[in-house]
Amino acid sequence: MTSTLYKQLESCKIAKVIQDKLEDMFRCQASLARQSAITSLMNAQQKPSTLVKDHMITLMGYFVEATDNEDNLDQNTQIEMVFKSSSKDLIGFRAAYNLGNKNLTLTQLMKDLQSYELMLNSSQSVERV
């Protein structure tokens, strides 16, 4: 084997080792990012003073982050996560949703939750008067 060919093969081996190490490093980072996105979703909880719209926007950001990190959460899982993280005031809506066996998109769900929240807030203000 000529020395030129030997040097080319040697540099290919070194390049392959470097490539493998980089792939391992980025695989670990992707795994950490995926874990972080799911952890954020699992820990998200709507505070009593937070509007439904703001909470949903936060959750949608987490859903996008999870999707970017190759965690494909189906629509039913996303809706279940919305309900699990929503305030206790929305339990009536959740019961009606489950009884009606609705099939909503996240955007439709957000609109319906906002309407329900508005109804709750207006009934609470009537009770105070």
Domain assignment present for 80: no
Q: Do the beta carbons of residue 80 and residue 43 sit within 8 Å?
A: no
Q: What does pTM read for this prediction?
A: 0.68
Same domain, 115 and 59: no
Sign of CA dihedral 34, 39, 41, 44: negative
Containing structural domain, residue 67 = 1-71
The C-alpha torsion from 14 through 18 and 21 to 27, rounded to 10°, is -140
Q: Do 47 and 105 belong together in one domain?
A: no
State whether 52 and 14 are in the same domain: yes
The verdict on residue 10 lying in a domain is yes
pLDDT per residue over 45-59, tens digit each?
999 889 999 999 999
| Short-list 63, 108, 113, 125, CA closest to 86 | 113
| 4/29 same-domain check | yes
| Region 67-81 average pLDDT | 86
Q: Across residues 69-88, what is the average pLDDT?
A: 88
56 lies in a domain?
yes
Which of 123, 61, 71 has its CA nearest to residue 92? Answer: 123
- Asked which of 2-16, 25-39, 62-76 is least confident by mean pLDDT, the reply is 2-16
The per-residue pLDDT for 1 is 55
pLDDT for the residue numbered 100: 82
